[in-house]
Structure 1
Amino acid sequence: MNQRSLTQPALADLADIPARSRWAHHGGLRLHALDYGGDGVPVLILPGITSPAVTMDFVARALTGPVRPVVLDVRGRGLSDDGDSYALDDYAADAEAVVEQLGLDHPLLLGHSMGARIATVVAVRARVPLRGTVIVDPPMSGPGRGPYPTPLTAFANQLQEARRGTDADEVARSWPSWPRREQELRARWLSSCGDVAITATHEGFESEDFFDWWPRIGANTPTTLMYGADSPVVTAEGAAEAASALPAARLIRVPDAGHMVFWDNPDTSLTLLRDALAAPHPAEERASVGKLAYD
């Protein structure tokens, strides 16, 4: 069963967002994105496993001006169609189609969690030219690496709550530190995520190894890895492995944040993100920044 639904209050949220809906196609799928416009450098934002595009509105708004944020409803979520497959290559090809069809010239890629894995694969495939990538708390689980910290049953329970009609108060019991608006958006939009998409993606977290891709990002793609200081997904050991596997990458450790980096510590994480997007790091800075990430 693959139940997906959106209520009228959820759809009404779109009226309060300073972005317009844009559409792309790939492999017969219609892919929806929120385009915040402007003349800045385009930034394609790729959300996490249960985060439709609208739930990253606060991130996009914080960036609008210097950059042009475009947030994708990843297949199986939000207003985008369901797919027949949810492998990393499928997700990456969707993102490439959006870049090409929306005319995003040499965009930056910003991915969180699942989206961070997708952005990494897009960078390695190199089928669309990029200015750089910011990879935020990517699942580093995979074959021989142990399970993803959040079990599939937890996602299934959250989807059940959303479909029976959850609210911000119930969301707050799981995410008490989140801003109220983000709790409300999650309550209204989580039911737009499909069971098949969530299940297949979660399986991919454990069958597709992030480190098969990460070291292969080319030197011509400036890359930043942001991670929560308290994240169970990118541990200190995982960050150290990432730094060793791709020495050219800059690492930024976000204090007082778990896996949901932007939601857990919005002010600090968004300031660090703006800095990372504004100034692609010169080679001589990388070693010192990477070292500071573990202090």
Structure 2
Amino acid sequence: MTLDESKLSHRFTEHDGVRLHYVEAGEGPLVVLLHGFPEMWYSWRHQIPALVEAGYRVIAPDMRGYNLSDKPKGVAAYALPELTADVAALIQASGAERAAAVVGHDWGGGVAWAFAMRYPALLERLVILNSPHPERLFSAFRTARQLRKSWYMFFFQLPKVPELAARKNDFALLRASVKNDPRRPGAMSDEDLARYIEAWSQPGALTAMINYYRALFRPGSRRGKTRPPRVDTPVLVIWGEHDRHLGAELAAPNPALVPNARVARVPDASHFVHYDRPEKVNQLLLEFLR
């Protein structure tokens, strides 16, 4: 489906001194869409119109540090307690008691997992796109195979160098990740890419985006040392099987920690499953929400 941006409202809300930008559309039960790295709200351009047509109210934020949202300084500002509190603030700002669903891809999926653990009363369902449950992810870091796939997470721990690399040649590394990773020809048009480049060009954006990864490995973060809380919320995991960054074995969460999960594997789709197979993702999402 084609996104009609004239039907979107651009709004801002402030939480703990951080101003968050989001787009809103539709009426009905609330669905919150959380984008991944290195994206922004526009990554959900195929899902927003489908959800609105199906009778849902959609909020898609630029997560803190991205695009038009504030970019607080310091790694600590991008720890999971702050990121999940932002989602709670967005739901509160919407006037809804809870979200019918929180949907997250990549880093947005990581935040969505943590949100379901910290704020279970604020969502009815959870949908995850190519983002492993934290227990699966940190266990996988013990394997050479996943360490090779996740090399960039450790590269991002360096000061300043990742920002220089990301900015080099007009954001060549970031452009390649969203333009070349998807398997469907034309999944990312030149016009789409120009919007991402505009977002990456915002002052402080690159450091803020990379600080998500830095915060994940800082002292005091969970890092798999203790067992995460159980998620009893119904969960749908949608997984593009040709993910260059995450092994397919990471898709299914531990049933002891996520007893109400279903995994839908999407063949011939990359890490950006919602770009490659938007109709399939929309079908799975709407069937799960009904």
For the criterion TM > 0.5, the same-fold answer is: yes
What runs of 5+ residues in structure 2 fail to find an aligned partner?
Answer: 157-161
Partner of 2:59: 70
- Distance in 2 of aligned mates of 1:232 and 1:191: 25
Of 215, 239, 249, the residue aligned with 1:227 is: 239
Partner of 2:159: none
Is the CA contact (8 Å cut-off) linking 2:231 and 2:259 kept in structure 1? no
What runs of 5+ residues in structure 1 fail to find an aligned partner?
Answer: 1-13, 279-295
User: Is 1:31 the equivalent of 2:31?
Assistant: no
Report the Cα offset of residue 127 of structure 1.
Answer: 6.7
Per-residue Cα deviation, 1:64-94 (whole angstroms, up to 9, x for no partner): 1321111011011121000231111111111
Report the Cα offset of residue 254 of structure 1.
Answer: 1.6
Partner of 2:192: 185
Q: 1:187 to 1:178 in 2, by over 3 A?
A: farther
Q: Percent identity?
A: 26
Is the CA contact (8 Å cut-off) linking 1:159 and 1:191 kept in structure 2? no
- Distance in 2 of aligned mates of 1:129 and 1:228: 27
Q: 1:176 to 1:32 in 2, by over 3 A?
A: same
Alignment of 1:22-61 (within 5 A): 22-38=11-27, 40-61=28-49
Root-mean-square deviation (Å): 3.3
Partner of 1:93: 85
- Distance in 1 of aligned mates of 2:170 and 2:20: 23
Partner of 1:200: 211
2:229 is aligned with what amino acid? Answer: R
Secondary structure, aligned partner of 2:138:
coil
Alignment of 1:132-171 (within 5 A): 132-139=125-132, 141-142=137-138, 144-145=141-142, 146-147=146-147, 149=150, 151=152, 157=165, 159-162=167-170
- Distance in 1 of aligned mates of 2:282 and 2:222: 28
1:106 is aligned with what amino acid? Answer: R
TM-score (norm 1): 0.75
Report the Cα offset of residue 212 of structure 1.
Answer: 7.2
- Distance in 2 of aligned mates of 1:137 and 1:257: 10
Report the Cα offset of residue 113 of structure 1.
Answer: 0.7
Is the CA contact (8 Å cut-off) linking 2:79 and 2:215 kept in structure 1? yes
TM-score (norm 2): 0.76
Per-residue Cα deviation, 1:169-204 (whole angstroms, up to 9, x for no partner): 996455463535655223322342412122212334
Report the Cα offset of residue 15 of structure 1.
Answer: 8.4
Report the Cα offset of residue 209 of structure 1.
Answer: 5.8
